[in-house]
Structure 1
């Protein structure tokens, strides 16, 4: 199936091609280089959103999402040279509190030890007393261009290490999944092909790559409630913004691991009601009003978050006489209408 590709240069539309061959020919002529040097950057560009830099200009290539996703799957199934790379990367918990950082932020800036590119997967091996692969993250910005790095000194355990980390290039990653199993211990990694210790980033291939990746099945960010709740009443449309604590994938997971995927107001369980399609579907509500949050606040997924259904969530984000209802108040009001819950 032909893949229409749009080419932009420095965020300005440059050309619309009907397929990758046409895009390759156009770019080669535009840059006055051989076609053979253009095909791979275009393919990786539209599949993984990787920019192509030529001299002082930045080129981007965009295809319809479904076409890009299908091609991405084909590349990875065939272990094609243009497929994203899988890296095993050490993380020392005695230097940096990774779990707390992921609970607070949706993305983090990581030291760019190698030439990480958009779409690459980093499997984070937590050393120290843990000695397991725990996190799967995806590179969303291979080389962070902005000075506004997602970096928080409070998560660093050792001040000296924080000072050292401030220099050098950074890669921005988002959390995809987190697991905790002895099957990903250092011993098991060695049983499946790891040679020596994990002292620096290494690209995974073959049996070891397939073994580690087989334990990560979810995309936590894909399960997170959207940025907004939309309400409809009396023909009027109103949008309620949901704060970042309610969208954080790791905080959400820890909250649901504790409470389960059941509304804590009305007891709605989507799997019980709708079957498999409703499994794990629930919203997460942040209990502390945003105006009460002070600088340096760190979310506690058990005490600060609570699972609620979309209807109850919308009600919790509405004000009555200028005041938000609490979970308990909303639950009591519902009891008066429908009886005991």
Structure 2
């Protein structure tokens, strides 16, 4: 305990947290969905703050373009093609060995969300798409777990904490189809806005975890740090037609996923989740006749002669890189892997 007191001494000296708040943090469990730009900032803050269990899930691996803003990764991670969850766990275990840190390499879906939420006190949004955010929102409100939303693109950021039974939910403010479709891969993003959004998320998370209810921000905050605009939309009555927090229909949990073929907007990548698993060594042998194969313990990457790439994961997912055309991606997948 004395070592813990030394580690968190400056945080304990901050009177709104103190000894009691620090003890609460060490008992809590959080889930971060996505370990990209926002996720790495969130995980760093919460691990250093001493949250007792920090779990995060991400489906992707580290690429060179990530290094500009995803603060836990380096060039060695790129060279090894490490999954982001694995690379982040390795880094964070060196930061704080006194807490439980778990990185999960997985696509977060309706099918695994219940397991990921088991025993969790709070969920933080580190994603880059609204499809997953609506899934988190619906699953959290169904189970009564608070959800800290955050988004960053270009020089703009937006963040709020949604608490079932106390506040409106994400769907009360943003409707499906009204998200604009802008992504970092389409219009870019500067690193400082990611740090700011992640820090706003982290401080609301810490407030909630130490039960500083009177200090909790009850608003949706949006800002543009390049043009220095800031706007705060105070929470009011939830949308009485909201299918999540008012009608309790939870539409993201009702969708039929079927074959799970998804175009990742702006990334020239289609994800196909049509198998239950891949034996990477077996598939390395099979696919070496069609292109250049690189195998790691976590994934198999195959570059075809035409520049297209397959990335196979042990959990059965495949990324087809070099196209956003679902039909073309499925045709390639069917030709070389089989549907």
Q: TM-score, normalised by structure 2?
A: 0.29
Q: Provide the TM-score with structure 1 as the length reference.
A: 0.29
